[in-house]
Structure formats: C-alpha cells, structure tokens
Amino acid sequence: MSDYVKIFDTTLRDGEQSPGASMNREEKLRLAHRLAQLKVDIIEVGFPAASPGDFEAVKSICQEVKGPVLAGLARTVPSDIKTCWEAIKYAENPRIHTFIATSDIHLQYKLKATREEVLEKVKKGVGLAVSLCDDVQFSLEDASRSDPEFMCQVIRTALAEGATTINIPDTVGYALPDEFQNLITLIKREVPEIEKATISVHCHDDLGMAVANSLAGVKAGARQVEGCINGIGERAGNASVEEVVMAIATRHESLGLKTGINKSKLFPTSRLVTMITGISVQPNKAIVGANAFAHESGIHVDGVLKQPLTYEIMTPEEVGISTNNLVLGKHSGRAGLRKRVQEMGYDLKEKDLDRLFEAFKVLADKKKEIWNEDLEALIADEILRMPHRWELEYLNIVSGTVTVPTATVIIRDGDQKIQEFGSGSGPVDAVCNTIKKLVNKNPYLEKFTIASVTGGLDAQGEVTVRLKENNITVLGRGNDPDILVASAKAYINGLNRLEYWANQPKTALPTNGD
C-alpha cells in the first residue's frame, strides 16, 4: 500500500460552516490560491447548490485555481449533482463529492427514508455523478454511528456505480480512536473491492479527538484525510490540517507515511484563515498558536538553550514561522516590502502594493519594528477587506477614572463625511454607541475579543467582534496600535459585512450563526 496520504482541505466548505465564518467570492478565491501554494491534494471549494453566491464562488475558483483537484459537495439529489457539475466542470481536475447519511437515527428522523430507499439514492446519485465526472467521491454521513453491515452494503453500491473515493466521516465526533481504526479495518475486510478506491476519513472534534481519529483511520489504511486549517468547521470543528500534516511528518518513524504538503506555508495559511474569517487561534493551539514554540519557564529555557531538541519536537521555521523577520522599519522602501510580502505568499497587484506601502509607512511611524504579523494585519485591513460602505476617518476619545467616557467619530460614507458624538459605560462602549448612531444600525454584539498581533508594548491590538442582526451573523476585525481605534475599525468592519450580506440574494445569507 502506498505511503502517501492525500490531504483534502475543506476549509472553504465545512470550515465555512463555522458560525460567522461566511466568506465572499474574493476571500474564497484568495484562500483557494493559498491552499494551492500549500499543495493540498484536494480543495473542497463549496456546495454549489446551496446558493447562487456559493455557485459563483465555486465556478470562479475552478476557472482560476490550478494544481489541486477541486471538489464540490452535493447531496445525492440529482439537481444538486447537476448544479455541482455546472460549477466545477471548469476545473483542471474536477471532483463531484456526493453524500447521504447512513445511520438509523438520520434515516428515521432526518431523511425519513428506509434503508432500501437510501441504497436507491446512492445508486442513482453516484451513477449520475459518474456519468458527468471521472472523479467521484462518496461519503456516508454519520458513518461511525451506522450499522456496519448496512454501511458496507452502501459502500459496495457506491463502488459498483464507479465512486473512486469512499469517505468515512465521524460526523458528530463520537468515535474513539480504537473504534475508528477498527471501523476502517472492518470495511477493508468486508468490502475487499474497496482496494481499487481511496479510503478517506473526515473527523469532527466534538470530543477533541478529530486528529487522533484521523490518524487512527490512516493507520488502518485510509489514504486521504479531510480537515480544515486551524481546525475550524461545523460545531467544535474538523480535524486540523496542520496538526495532521505535522503529526505525519514528525512521527514518520512510527507511522511510515508522508504527505505532499509544503509545510513552510502552514503558518502563513493559518494566519490568512484568521484574517479572512475573523476566527482567532487560541494561543496554546498546536503548530500555529502563539505559544506553540514559546518557552518561558527556567528549566525549559535552560534545556532549549543547551539543545532545542530537549523541548522542541519540530522547529518553528519548518511550519513557516519566521523567528528572524525584524528587518522592515520606517526607512524601508517598496522593493523590500514587495520581497517580504512575496515571501509571505502574497502576490499583490502593483496598486495593492502601493496602498499597503502607504499604510505600512503610517504604521512604521507609530511602531518601531514591523513584523510579518503586522504586515498580515495591514494586508487584511487594506487589501483583503470586502467591498465596504463605511470607513473610519477620525476618532477622539475622552476617558479616565473621573469622566464619563465619550467618543467623537467621523466616518466616510461614500463621498460624504458624517460626524457624531456619544458616550458609554467604557471607552469601547462609547465608540460603538457613537458608530451605531452614525450608521443607524443596532446589531446585537455577541462577542468582543482583543489580542495582540505580536509581543511588545507597542504591538498592534487585533480586535474581533461578532455581530448579529436579522438572523445574519458576521465577524468584524480591526488592527491598530491603539486598541480603541482597532475596536472602532472592527466594529465598522462588522457593520460593513452586515450591510454586504443584507444586500445579497436571500439564499446566500450567512445564517449559520447560533
């Protein structure tokens, strides 16, 4: 059996099912290009039948992004499969990914279908997909809670119709690693004809075992692992791509497996996903968290200084975390900035580089050292942002121990500048209240978080807000060395997103909030 494990990235599909993580077409395109640089084998680019917006985004990615196989998801419903094909047929290497649930609980309550009816849907759905596309993946949703005998019957049917990949999801993150390993072993024993197809695993993290279960599946013979960057995804998320990849690489002597991933792009891709979705990575997250390679306690530092291998099982450089990126500052020019940005994996157009350069100089006046993370924050603010209506022009805050916090805000609304004054229980409250008055909106603030982009007291603050209005949930992000300015930017960014989605066709709305 081959020692190569294919990586199937579903950040653009299952990842987008994370509450508030909806991405627009441009954001999806940018991320798809980055995933191609990361050299994932397959990118699941979306669910074309879900909405006109998703259809267009999938089609654009398929027209533009070269290299990996590009997959679109579809129920076994014929119209879903045909719509999927209409969007993905433009890809260099298209794949139709069709699925149906096989557990009794899903059959009884959700599909309201008998086992015979499900088998018929599999036969027709896979058959139709194979008539359209050479590369067809079939998934048994909730496989880990399905009757093994029925599951094998479904797999045989899908294979007989010509499916080339069979995916075994632990949809609700219920399995234990040994159980999941046994499940794959059982499938291989009971359905020997699966040899000619690829076995894939797709694990969720409800019990924190998505990566462990994925590796257990691989140990039993699966040769495709599905996951999302930063482990985002439905509910508690999917298996984290960076963790699976680095486990396979770091424990090569034990697993004897490899992937084709360009590991040095893992960290930049993780940052891009954070920038685009607004979902921050917790500091202690494996591989890409701020503390993943940090050492503080004396005994550890002593050990690392004497020999890094005492406490480091991989190096930050391996995953693309630069430990010596402190070159840019206020005296740097366009050439240096262009080179750095290229090294970070961004291929910016000249006009975007000009905009970035302008913002870079403003930041360099406030902050002595400009790190890659600062540049990424600037790129997110200046280049990656959605088409937006409102922009922060001016902010003045009065706050302290004996004053009622007040804010004066000027916002650019198209050609107009609008000004307002307001107060609040604290300075952030004052800023948000004033902005709400200015734009005449009153969304519910579900979450407000603040983190620093880099270390140091002059670090930029990275603020994320989660806003909800009319059943639409969005995330807004903003960065600035002044955390109140970052808060204002994040709030306005969120309002711009609400405005954007409110003007999209009904079916395209990101109602995947709570």
Ligand X SMILES: CC(=O)SCCNC(=O)CCNC(=O)[C@H](O)C(C)(C)COP(=O)(O)OP(=O)(O)OC[C@H]1O[C@@H](n2cnc3c(N)ncnc32)[C@H](O)[C@@H]1OP(=O)(O)O
Residues 26-65, interacting with ligand KIV (CB under 6 A): none
Smallest distance, ligand KIV to C-beta of residue 469, A = 28
- Give me the sheet containing 461-469, strands edge to edge: 444-452, 461-469, 472-480
Residue 202 partner contact from ligand X, ligand KIV, none using kind-dependent CB cut-offs of 5 to 8 Å: ligand KIV
Residue 49 partner contact from ligand X, ligand KIV, none using kind-dependent CB cut-offs of 5 to 8 Å: ligand X
Instruction: Pick from 85, 99, 138, 346 the residue near ligand KIV by CB under 6 A.
Output: 99
- In the bound state with ligand KIV, the residue whose beta carbon lies nearer, of 141 and 205, is 141
Which residues are CB-contacts of 167 (< 8 A; sequence separation ≥ 6)?
97, 99, 137, 138, 139, 140, 200, 201, 202, 224, 226
Binding residues for Mn(2+): 14, 202, 204, 238
Site stretch for ligand KIV (CB under 6 A), options 57-65, 164-172, 344-352, 498-506: 164-172
The residue among 150, 233, 138, 151 whose CA lies nearest residue 184 is: 151
The residue assigned the tokens 């509910």 is 235
Distance CA 436, CA 398 (A): 18
Q: Is 139 in the site for ligand KIV (CB under 6 A)?
A: yes
- In the bound state with ligand KIV, the residue whose beta carbon lies nearer, of 243 and 381, is 243
- In the bound state with ligand KIV, the residue whose beta carbon lies nearer, of 169 and 320, is 169
What number of CA atoms fall less than 13 Å from residue 114's CA on the CB side? 3
Smallest distance, ligand KIV to C-beta of residue 142, A = 7
Tell me the per-residue interface mask from 204 to 243 with ligand KIV, x by CB under 6 A, - otherwise. x---------------------------------------
* Phi, psi torsion values for 204, nearest 5 degrees: -105, 165
Report which residue's Cβ sits closest to ligand KIV.
169
Distance (Å) of CA 39 to CA 157, 264, 265, 278, 451: 32, 11, 9, 24, 30
Instruction: Pick from 11, 157, 167, 240 the residue near ligand KIV by CB under 6 A.
Output: 167
Taking only Cα atoms into account, the Rg of the chain, rounded to an integer number of angstroms, comes to 24
Smallest distance, ligand X to C-beta of residue 62, A = 18
Which residues are CB-contacts of 383 (< 8 A; sequence separation ≥ 6)?
346, 348, 352, 355, 356
Instruction: Pick from 171, 198, 274, 464 the residue near ligand KIV by CB under 6 A.
Output: 171
Distance CA 142, CA 158 (A): 16
Distance (Å) of CA 37 to CA 66, 93, 99, 248: 10, 16, 28, 19
- In the bound state with ligand X, the residue whose beta carbon lies nearer, of 146 and 406, is 146
Cα torsion through 467, 28, 86, 511, rounded to 10: -10
Distance CA 459, CA 370 (A): 9
CB contact at 8 A, 341 and 379:
yes
Smallest distance, ligand KIV to C-beta of residue 125, A = 13
Instruction: Pick from 14, 41, 54, 135 the residue near ligand KIV by CB under 6 A.
Output: 14
Smallest distance, ligand KIV to C-beta of residue 47, A = 9
Q: Is 491 in the site for ligand KIV (CB under 6 A)?
A: no
Smallest distance, ligand KIV to C-beta of residue 15, A = 11
Binding positions for ligand KIV, rule: CB under 6 A: 14, 99, 139, 141, 167, 169, 171, 202, 204
